[in-house]
Amino acid sequence: MKPFQLIDKSSGGSFKNDILSGITVALALVPEAVAFAFVAGVSPIVGLYGAFMMGLITSIFGGRPGMISGATGAMAVVMVHLVQEGNVLGGSESIGLQYLFITLILAGIFQMLAGTLRLGKFVRMIPHPVMMGFVNGLAIVIFISQLGMFKSSGEWLEGSSLLIMIGLVIVTMLIMYILPLITKKIPAALTAILVVSIIVIFGGIETETVRSFIISNGGEGIKAGLPSFNFPSVSLSLETFQFILPYAFILASIGLIESLMTLNLIDELTDSHGSGNRECIAQGAANTVNGLFGGMGGCAMIGQSIINIKSGGRGRLSGITAALALLGFILFGSNLIEQVPIAALVGVMFMVVIGTFAWSTFKVINKVPKSDVLVILLVTGLTVIFDLALAVMAGVIISSLVFAWENAKRIRARKFVDEFGVKHYEIFGPLFFGCIELFNSKFDIQNDPDEVIIDFKESRIVDQSAIECVNKLTERYLQNGKNIHLRHLSPDCVKLIKKAEKICVVNVLEDPDYFVAIDNFRQAQNALVK
């Protein structure tokens, strides 16, 4: 594990880049945290507290410097049902929030347990088509979430208000596109936000701002104090545990899947390697703290993480700066941050959408197997329609089934009878549950001689289904008065067979000594040695 470093100079990081990118990210975190708080059915300050605590703890203790965590939509859509059902269960309009906090504590424990058990490595098993579907779906989700910013008091903008909004969004995007072509020393996203804010404030342009957005959604601004410790005021009973357990497991799963997949994406962007297990523990600790200090929790945010990386943020300082700047906005800078035009933030997020979407999908769609195309489209669609966890699990399952099917068709057998009348079956390809039927079809038990050798030099017995298959094949040969011998088993295959000795009656032949029970076969082996 690498020692703690505020700045990752090996990846081109610097104090200036990390601080400026952190401030940019903090500005983008505000409307996202507020919007997702409304989605979850909680107060905006709960979302802001959640973004602050998630960002600070994961930046300090997480396994991926430069990755940003905060309140996310993927978890918010689960939280809204939790809060609503909690209100019904507790018989109060405010008790649902307390159930959310106690659930976050349990979800955090699950996530820390996953990191302790080193389960983070399993994210490496996610196929590339699933990753492509993930980023494509997430890009679409981010785009759709930004469309809600074109509303005021629940109504879509019209006329001049809509044109002004679109114009400012375009200006923001143009600045972010053109500025890096001139110089990369100035963060494009932060510059775009500042320029558009100045245009609106000093130009007297009437448009939606952070403050008007919060008020139009039922909030009262973002000014508040520090989060305070307050253990959730719910009864710690078996009924409570049974209610929160499934929600805690779902939130923990969604949080880890999104965080670990975002970690992989940032690894690719920075050509570096983060620690998935360490990130699991940090995410769990952050959610547990959120439950104890009144935040809505969350996980890694792909949009803000890309903003950070594209703005030059590489080290832990960028995430720490973003979290502390967000806290500063809450405590002292609410008046300033509330004047930032929503259009500027929407423009930044639209550029994130463009950078997130895997445009290479259209290039490879006619070059990769149809099964991979299906997985990409399925994961993309499920991410948009349902949620990330379901989409990824479905993609992994389908990819696994396709892999099993393709390998099941590759089992082959080369057959010949030697000079001593012994029938040899040389097996090629892995023997596992998917190819049992095809494997059995290779043998001609009725017409085979009395001695048969199955040679696994180019094969491997993989699982219990294969062991049971060999067991049944042995029984069929024995019922016909014939002997079967296994040869050239790899050590792990031998281990599997030996574990199944009670149910699998075979003679295991291990080169160079073939332990056989019949004299004529031993004589044949001696003749071959000579």
Split at pLDDT 50, 70, 90, the class of 10 is: low
Reference 411, options 469, 368, 491; nearest CA is: 469
* Separation CA 43–CA 447 (nearest Å): 78
- 245 residue type, one letter: L
Q: How far apart are CA 274 and CA 316, in angstroms?
A: 12
**What is the second-level CATH architecture of the domain 412-529?**
2-Layer Sandwich (3.30)
Q: Is 44 within 8 Å of 34 (Cβ atoms)?
A: yes
Sequence spans of domains, the chain:
11-149+159-398, 412-529
Q: Which amino acid is at 34?
A: V
β-pairing, 451-461 with 423-431? Answer: parallel
CB of 53 closer than 8 Å to CB of 330? no
**Mean pLDDT of the 121-146 span:** 83
Choose between 102 and 526: higher pLDDT: 102
Band of pLDDT at residue 59, cut at 50, 70 and 90 = very high
Confidence bin at 498 (pLDDT 50/70/90):
low
State mean pLDDT over 30-34: 78
The confidence band for 12, taking pLDDT boundaries of 50, 70 and 90, is: low
Of 82-91, 110-119, 156-165, minimum mean pLDDT range: 82-91
Residue 9 clears pLDDT 80, i.e. is over it: no
Higher pLDDT, 241 or 35: 241
Return left, alpha or beta for 321; rule: phi > 0 is left, psi -120 to 50 is alpha, else beta. Answer: alpha
pLDDT confidence bin for 517, thresholds 50/70/90: very low
396, pLDDT greater than 50 = yes
- Extended beta strands in 128-229, E state: 151-152, 155-156
Tokens 């219990």 -> residue: 464
Mean of the per-residue pLDDT values for the chain?
A: 84
Q: What is the pLDDT of residue 16?
A: 87
Range 520-529 average pLDDT: 48
* % residues pLDDT > 90 (the chain): 33
Pairwise CA distance, residues 245 & 43, whole Å: 24
Confidence of residue 352 (pLDDT cuts 50, 70, 90): confident
For the chain, what's the residue count? 530
Q: How many whole angstroms separate alpha carbon 307 and alpha carbon 32?
A: 13
Q: Which range has the worst mean pLDDT, 215-224, 359-368, 404-413? A: 215-224
Cβ–Cβ under 8 Å, residues 55 and 319? yes
Return the higher-pLDDT residue of 3 and 344.
344
Q: How does pLDDT run across 418-454, given as a tens digit for each residue? A: 888 999 999 998 888 889 999 999 999 999 999 888 8
pLDDT band at 515 (very low <50, low <70, confident <90, very high): very low
Q: Is the pLDDT reported for residue 292 higher than 90? A: yes
Check pLDDT > 90 for residue 509: no
Residue for token digits 């490595």? 121
pLDDT confidence of 4, banded at 50, 70, 90? low
Q: Is the pLDDT of residue 77 over 80?
A: no
